Amino acid sequence: MKYLVFSFVLLALASAGCYNPKARVPDLVKTPQPYTFMANKELPKSYDPRNLDGHNYVTVAKNQHIPQYCGACWAFAATSAVGDRLKMMTKGAWPERDLSPQVILNCDKTSDSCSGGHPLAAFKYMHDVGVPEEGCMRYMAKDMECTDINICRDCGHDTPCHAVYNYTKFYVEEYGSVAGEKNMMAEIYARGPITCTIAVPDDLMEYKTGVYRDTTGSTALEHSISVLGWGEEDGVKYWIGRNSWGTHWGEHGFFRIVRGENNLGIEADCQWAVPRVPDRMVRDRRMRSQRNRGRYFAEPCLLEPRGDEGEHVVSPLPAQYVKDEELPERYDIRNLDGHNYATWEKNQHIPQYCGSCWAQSSTSAIADRINLMRKGAWPTIELSVQEVINCGNAGSCHGGWDGSVFKYAYKEGIPDQTCQVYEAKDKACNDLNRCLDCEPGEECKPVKDYKRYKLAEYGTVRGIDDMKKEIFARGPLSCSMRVTQAFLDYEGGVFEDHGDPSLGGHAIEIAGWDKTEDGKEYWIGRNSWGTYWGEDGWFRIVMGSKGLGIDSRSCNWGVPIIDF
């Protein structure tokens, strides 16, 4: 009994560290707040930005508890709310912006990093300094110094990680507080998600689905979440909340809680921020010195095929049924009828160097296909690259085989990134390194109940016309290419190879095509070197002999099973 009481006290104390009311800063309000001019009759009975006219306007789910426990709820709630508002303000256009909570943990001096903070402090930091995307600084769940290298970094193979300076910062124009059911609804409906802080009784941690109602009367505020909408079920009004405990918690990381009763104190302490749509980033040639770039691709990250990838093809191939005349002149999954179907951007080289292009390109292609097949519906699935490195038997941080990832996805499936956050390191394959969660004051433990996303079939395709037909009919491909110094230095435009020496093999995603004004066709590709490289992490490259071999070698495809 004494042990149970001690455990409960320890848990309560550790959980309380996630939110620190002493870190609150004054509001900065510049414009009238929606509740001052919006009538209650203007508010709909239900509102959910995960499904507005059939489209999802919320960013990807996160997990603050991996790779170790960190009381970062305040930073996650703030970055999620602002990221979702940016997505709504830009009407879901590419690129999606996933802001870095780690930078706020590192650099906001008002709060206490992994020991707790306040969403308003995060908003103030975004207003005063600005915050980059996760492609600059991935979440590491620990306290770090606020230095240039801990704001935006890149890491070479045999050189130390170094600071990057040519990145986009995201700011907010104003921020403030809101409380009460109708005021919160007006703020959300007019401008987007808000952050709120709630109590955390034991049964909330075990929540799976349904409309939650606390019956203990707990109102000790200790955990920050975001609130993005509302609805009603069987006469019970509810809020729609986003948590930061992974997709294996609740309703794919989200939850519903009774509305209008201040249950768990959810209507007492909420905040908002109005983001500024960013200007194009200003490039700074200090990104990497030419000396560093010469060693940046010291070894290929895509190895020569080992011959055991195989294929499992059970349905007709698009090359057999898509006619040449049915192919459009241009096709880009980032803008299909005005909607973006590309999932989040990646950076294989942070928090340290890892030659994982083979896992990045394959998981991006599969995730994008899931998004296309589900027509962009919530939830967006971001597959775990780290779990593939750990357990896929397809390679390591010293290179691998993208075709083997498709075989792994077919046989075993891949969890999403809230099971295993990307750490850019080789780890043993065990239950803990497949899906883990870390509670305060305890050792990390394997998660047993989580979803793995599988393929129904997989195979290869080669040649410009057949690649186009595969992409058009079923979605992006994972392809191989040669890397040259000129490609490392690419900053934008349609790339052409002029016979420079090859530095090695690399895997990328091909997600569409287009043509220049003079009729030269080119591929649209996604790289995994961060958004500060190329065109927000993407590139355009000519088809044919000057295209670094992309369409002269076999590309890999897989058809996801959609069972959710």
C-alpha distances (whole Å) from 7 to each of 2, 4, 196, 245 are 9, 5, 27, 20
DSSP 150-197: GTSEE--SSS--EE------BEEEEEEEE-SHHHHHHHHHHH--EEEE
Q: Would residue 527 show up in a list of annotated catalytic residues for this protein?
A: yes
Which of 172, 179, 152 shows the shortest CA–CA distance to 163? 152
Active-site residue identified among 118, 150, 506, 555: 506
Which of 247, 203, 256, 251 shows the shortest CA–CA distance to 63? 247
Query: In this structure, are residues 515 and 331 in contact, taking their beta carbons and an 8 Å threshold?
Result: no
Q: Would residue 506 show up in a list of annotated catalytic residues for this protein?
A: yes
CA 352 from chain centre, in angstroms, equals: 18
- The dihedrals phi and psi of 22, each to the nearest 5 degrees, come to -70, -15
Residue given tokens 């600059």 in the structure block: 136
Amino acid, res. 181: E
Active-site residue identified among 357, 419, 479, 555: 357
* Continuous segment of H or E residues that includes residue 11: helix 2-16
Q: d(Cα 516, Cα 328) in Å, to the nearest integer? A: 14
Query: In this structure, are residues 173 and 127 in contact, taking their beta carbons and an 8 Å threshold?
Result: yes
Active-site residue identified among 340, 527, 555, 556: 527
Using CB atoms within 10 Å of the CB of residue 510, give its burial: 0 to 12 exposed, 13 to 18 middle, 19+ buried: buried
Q: d(Cα 494, Cα 341) in Å, to the nearest integer? A: 22
Which of 395, 409, 452, 416 shows the shortest CA–CA distance to 559? 409
Q: d(Cα 472, Cα 366) in Å, to the nearest integer? A: 15
Query: In this structure, are residues 439 and 448 in contact, taking their beta carbons and an 8 Å threshold?
Result: no
The pair of structure tokens assigned to 163 is 């600071």
> So which residues are the catalytic ones?
357, 506, 527
